[in-house]
Amino acid sequence: MSSGTQRIRVLIADDDETVRNLLEYHSQKRGFEPVLASCGEAFMEMVDDSYDVALLDLNMPPGSGFDCLKFLAAKWPDLPAVVLSSADEVQDAVTAMKAGAIDYLTKPFDLDEVFHVLRQAIELSRLRRENRELKESIGVSRPVNGLVGEGETTRELVARIAKISSIDSTVLLKGESGVGKGLIARTIHYASSRASGPFVTVSCPALPRELLESELFGHEKGAFTGAHQRRIGKIETAAGGTLFLDEIGDLPLDLQPKLLNVLQDREFQRVGGTQTIRTDIRVIAATNVDLEDQVKNREFREDLYYRLNVIPLEVPPLRHRIDDLKQLSAHFLGRVAKSRGLSKPIRLTDEALRVMQRYDWPGNIRQLENVLERASAFCDDQVIDLADLPGEVRDDGAATGDDGSEKLNLANIPLRDLERAALLQTLRAADGNKAEAARRLGVTEKSVYNKLKRFGMA
CATH architecture group of domain 158-314:
3-Layer(aba) Sandwich (3.40)
pLDDT at 201 over 80: yes
Average pLDDT over every residue of 197-221: 88
In the chain, the percentage of residues whose pLDDT exceeds 70 is 87
Residue-wise DSSP of 121-144: HHHHHHHHHHHHHHHHHH-SSS--
pLDDT for position 357: 92
| Section 406-413 average pLDDT | 46
- Burial class from Cβ neighbours inside 10 Å (0-12, 13-18, 19+) for residue 391 reads exposed
Length of the chain: 458
Q: What is each CA distance from 427 to 211, 225, 283, 288, 434, in whole angstroms?
A: 36, 47, 31, 15, 7
Q: Which of 41-55, 254-268, 308-322, 400-414 has the lowest mean pLDDT?
A: 400-414
What ranges do the domains of the chain cover? 8-131, 158-314, 316-407, 412-458
CA proximity to 82, closest of 57, 110, 62: 57
Q: What is the distance between the alpha carbons of residues 30 and 411, in angstroms, rounded to a whole number?
A: 67
Q: What is the spatial distance between Cα 237 and Cα 96, in angstroms, rounded to a whole number?
A: 16
Does 342 score more than 80 pLDDT?
yes
Taking the C-alpha atoms of residue 429 and residue 111, their distance in angstroms, rounded to an integer, is 63
Amino acid at 382: Q
**Within its chain, how far is the Cα of 119 from the centroid?**
21
The class level of CATH for 8-131 reads alpha beta
- What is the number of other CB atoms lying within 10 angstroms of the CB of residue 304? 23
Question: Out of 27-36, 128-137, 176-185, 400-409, which region has the weakest mean confidence (pLDDT)?
Answer: 400-409
Q: Is the pLDDT of residue 321 over 60?
A: yes
**What mean pLDDT do residues 203-226 have?**
86
What is the structure's pLDDT at 208? Answer: 85
Please state which CATH class domain 412-458 belongs to.
mainly alpha
**Domain 412-458 in the same topology as domain 158-314:** no
> 7 with 26: CB under 8 angstroms?
no
CATH number of 316-407: 1.10.8.60
**pLDDT band at residue 403 using 50, 70 and 90 as cut-offs:** very low
Say if pTM beats, i.e. exceeds, 0.75.
no
pLDDT at position 140 over 50: no
Question: Residue 141: pLDDT band by 50, 70, 90 thresholds?
Answer: very low
List residues bridging with 12 in a β-sheet. Answer: 36, 55
- d(CA 213, CA 28) in angstroms, rounded, equals 33
